[in-house]
Amino acid sequence: MANKFVIDTNVAISANGINTHASITCQLSCIELLENCRKLHIAIDKSGLIMDEYAKHLSHAGQPGVGDMFFKYLHDNQYDPVKNIHSVDITLLNDDYRGFEELPINTFDKSDRKFLATAIVANATIVNATDSDWEEQSELLKTLNVDLKQLCHDHRCK
C-alpha cells in the first residue's frame, strides 16, 4: 500500500492563495501537492469532521483555487471504493484533555486533533503548510509514530 496522507486544511487554503499568510513559495508547494491529489492516498474520517472543516474554508464547486479543486475531488469521490480515499473510524470524546479515544492526554489545538486521530488510525503522514502546532508538538507525534510532511519550512514555527 502506498503512503497515506492526512491533509491539514491550511494546505488547501494556502493553495487557494486567498486569505492566507503563506508565502508564494509555500503556496506553490501546496499547489504542487494538491494538483496530484488523484495520485495520492488520502485519509479522512468516516464521521466527516475533516470534510466539515474543509467545507468551512473551501468551495464544493472546485473553483477558483487548487484547494477548492482538491476539496471537490474528495467530496465527489469519498465513497467510491476504487478511488484513493481511505475513510477511517475515529471516536470523538467529551474530554478536553484528549478529544478522541485514539489520542493520549495532549495539549494539541482542539481543531487539529481530528487530523491526528485520523493519521493514527490510517497509519498516515500529516501534511502541513502554515500551522506551527505540528512542529511544536513534534515529540507527541514521535511518541505516536506519526510522521509530518512540512511543505512550508518558513511557516513551521511561530
Show me where the domains of the chain are located: 4-155
pTM for the full predicted model: 0.94
Q: What is the average pLDDT across 84-104?
A: 95
What residues contact residue 23 under an 8 Å CB cut-off, 6+ apart?
A: 152, 154, 155
**Top CATH class, 4-155:** alpha beta
7-41: b (≥16 Cβ within 10 Å) or e: bbbbbbbbbbbeebebeeebbbbbbebbeebeebb
Q: What is the average pLDDT across 105-125? A: 96
pLDDT for res 101: 97
Per-residue pLDDT, averaged over 8-16, amounts to 96
User: Beta strands 148-150 and 85-88: pairing type?
Assistant: unpaired
Q: Quickly state the pLDDT bin for 157 (edges 50, 70, 90).
A: very low
